[in-house]
């Protein structure tokens, strides 16, 4: 018998292609990132803090993509407007008094010269100490480390209240800037949480922690999983609604802050 002959010609590489398409929206020209993604199954229009994105599967034509885009211009306008408040929020400027978002509040921010970079919270607000010669990268690093420390303090305060009934505690905690998720739990029980959580109200942050802890019991989003969440955090629906309304702004605001000058 003849054995099947292995194909000598490799299939075309599955490369993600990117370009830009421009549309007129309420008298403005809007640039939309067009992405042809081999993993995509349908045409999709999305918006985040980086702008608008039109995703096309391999089988979709450019014309069908543009038709889809123009059919959803009203939706696009509404989504983009949700980020206008974030764009209006001033980025931190060295030496210029401003506001620092933390736990759902805007703290008055003042600048001071110090021997080392740090941010202190007092009754008067946030005090940013900056040594002479600290560059922009050092400024951003100080701000990120401040938020990480605040977030870890919150988790450390809440976590003991929820360990009872769990098969184990999280192996480790990572805080990072996440583009779409608010948290995740890896198979090795290590937990990742979005650093933007510490900008929003504390109850929403606590809910995300509980959500990820419940994945230690149910590694899915089945009714059994939501029963675990309900048992530990009955007001979870209120916090999920909060993220639907304010979540994108929180993520965009953090990215803007971490590009402080």
Sign of CA dihedral 84, 85, 88, 90: negative
- Residue 100 near residue 109, CB atoms below 8 Å: yes
The yes-or-no verdict on residue 10 having pLDDT over 50 is no
What mean pLDDT do residues 49-72 have?
90
pLDDT (tens digit per residue) in 18-47: 899 898 988 888 899 999 999 999 999 988
| Per-residue confidence (pLDDT) for residue 92, from 0 to 100 | 83
Tell me, what's the pLDDT at 9? 46
The yes-or-no verdict on residue 217 having pLDDT over 60 is: yes
Q: 156-257 architecture in CATH?
A: 2-Layer Sandwich (3.30)
Q: 77-102: per-residue pLDDT in tens?
A: 888 877 665 555 667 888 899 999 99
Residue carrying structure tokens 């549309």: 23
Query: Residue 193: helix, strand or coil by DSSP?
Result: strand
Domain positions in the chain: 17-81, 156-257
Side by side, which strands form the sheet with 17-25?
17-25, 28-36, 51-56, 44-48
Phi and psi angles of residue 71, each rounded to the nearest 5 degrees, phi first: -75, -15
């Amino acid at each position: 018998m003849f054995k099947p002959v292995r194909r000598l010609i490799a299939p075309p590489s599955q490369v993600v292609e990117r370009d830009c398409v421009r549309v007129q929206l309420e008298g403005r020209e809007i640039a939309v990132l067009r992405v042809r993604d081999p993993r995509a199954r349908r045409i999709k229009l999305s918006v985040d803090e980086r702008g608008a994105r039109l995703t096309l599967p391999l089988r979709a034509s450019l014309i069908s993509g543009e038709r889809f885009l123009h059919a959803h211009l009203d939706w696009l306008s509404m989504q983009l407007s949700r980020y206008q408040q974030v764009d209006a929020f001033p980025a931190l400027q060295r030496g210029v008094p401003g506001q620092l978002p933390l736990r759902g509040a805007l703290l008055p921010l003042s600048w001071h010269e110090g021997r080392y970079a740090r941010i202190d919270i007092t009754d008067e607000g946030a005090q940013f100490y900056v040594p002479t010669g600290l560059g922009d990268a050092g400024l951003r690093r100080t701000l990120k480390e401040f938020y990480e420390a605040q977030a870890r303090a919150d988790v450390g305060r809440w976590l003991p209240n929820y360990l009872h009934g769990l098969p184990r505690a999280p192996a480790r905690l990572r805080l990072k800037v996440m583009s779409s998720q608010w948290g995740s739990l890896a198979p090795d029980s290590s937990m990742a949480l979005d650093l933007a959580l510490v900008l929003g109200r504390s109850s929403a942050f606590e809910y995300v922690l509980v959500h990820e802890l419940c994945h230690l019991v149910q590694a899915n989003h089945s009714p059994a999983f939501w029963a675990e969440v309900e048992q530990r955090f009955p007001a979870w629906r209120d916090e999920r609604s909060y993220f639907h309304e304010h979540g994108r702004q929180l993520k965009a605001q953090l990215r803007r802050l971490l590009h402080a000058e």
